[in-house]
Amino acid sequence: MEEAEMSGLFLKSVILKTSRRMPPGWIAALRQAGIEVCEAVAQRAEATETAGSPALWITDDPALARALVMEKKAVLAVLPGEGWEPDPAAGRPEGSEGSPAEIGAGDFSGVKYLCENLEELDAVYLDRVYRRYAGIPWDILETERCALRETVEEDVDAFYGIYREPSITRYMEDLFPDRDQEIAYTREYRENVYEFYGFGIWTVRLKETGEVIGRAGLSYREGFDEPELGFVIGLPWQRRGIGEEVCRAVLSFGRKELGFETVIAFAEPENQISLRLLERLGFTPAGKELLRGREHIQYRAELTPFL
């Protein structure tokens, strides 16, 4: 399995209600991936949702999109893009104003996701759109031994177990002393970081057992332009090469999926384990920074080798 390839889609069906011609190859690809495609027949769409099947509505009708959002449905709005042609057979979507050619330029207030070219969106992306609405964390990547996904509130107790070890908090910021504060922070992080950037610090789980063993990912630190690599692996799972395995996968994901060319990292001079790991990953020293009142060495890595 490729590092960024994940299996198992939560999304089971896509409900299309648009005034445009949908690319037949795109629809076929969704069906091949196991996603049912229902094209604008209201009774069939209602039956799909009544059955409890996770569904994503795709429409270029602003009025319908807003109504669906009010009903707490998962919606992807389609905007008019270059070369777009309306489907004369579809006519004007119910409740819309204007001609089919004008639909899509209206008010899509409340819709989290909008696109112009559906052919650029695959089953994995549509699954991720659905997950955002449903509050389901994104699966990010897999390595030989680990799986990384977005952090959820249920991970907090495992984090407290990991951070209880003094060697973990010696060189990094501790969790909130109050569990409820940490849960609130996790919830806000999901809403303000994952949803805004599409990446961040993720939860690392052991594939064999599913247990949470650490955290790793990429994030922006205030005052710096390049994304920063961050990682922590719990003491019971250290000295097995897991940290290097996970960090290499994160850097590869950063280059291939996020388009990053340079990544930075910070470590205190006494933190020899992290310094040696960063050097094995291809980072080189780039000066010193005072962070949280303590001196850190800044490291930089060009991600060309991770293409």
SS3 274: helix
Which residues touch 132 (CB under 8 Å, ≥6 apart)? 74, 112, 113, 195
- Asked if residues 9 and 90 have their Cβ atoms less than 8 Å apart, the reply is no
Q: CA torsion sign, 120 to 141 to 3 to 56?
A: negative
In sign, the C-alpha dihedral spanning 40, 44, 50, 52 is: negative
Contact 224, 264 (CB under 8 A): yes
- Cα–Cα distance list, 8 to 84, 208, 247, 292 (Å): 32, 17, 24, 41
Render 112-140 in DSSP notation, one character per residue: SEEES-GGG--HHHHHHHHHHHHTPPPEE
Q: What is the mean pLDDT of residues 219-238?
A: 96
**What confidence category does residue 8 fall into, taking pLDDT thresholds of 50, 70 and 90?**
confident
**pLDDT at 87 > cutoff 70:** no
Short-list 307, 302, 296, CA closest to 283: 302
pLDDT attached to residue 6: 44
For residue 181, how many other CB atoms are within 10 A of its CB?
Answer: 11
C-beta atoms surrounding 25 within 10 Å: 9
CATH fold of 139-306 reads: Aminopeptidase (3.40.630)
> Is residue 227 within 8 Å of 220, Cβ to Cβ?
yes
The yes-or-no answer to whether 13-134 and 139-306 have a common fold is no
pLDDT value, residue 306: 74
Q: Is the pLDDT of residue 95 over 50?
A: no
Instruction: Provide φ and ψ at 56, rounded to 5°.
Output: -120, 125
Cβ–Cβ < 8 Å for 61, 18: yes
Please tell me the predicted confidence (pLDDT) of residue 98.
45
**In the chain, where are the structural domains located?**
13-134, 139-306
The architecture (CATH level 2) of 13-134 comes to: 3-Layer(aba) Sandwich (3.40)
Name the band, by pLDDT with cuts 50, 70 and 90, for residue 242: very high
Residue 230 · residue 151 · CB < 8 Å: no
- CA 73 to centroid of chain Cα atoms: 20
The pLDDT tens digits for 96-150 are: 444 444 444 578 989 999 998 888 889 999 999 999 999 999 999 999 999 999 9
Backbone angles phi, psi at 139, to 5 degrees: -75, 135
Closest CA to 216 of 143, 279, 301: 143
Instruction: Give tens-digit pLDDT for 171-214.
Output: 999 999 999 999 999 999 999 999 999 999 999 999 999 999 99
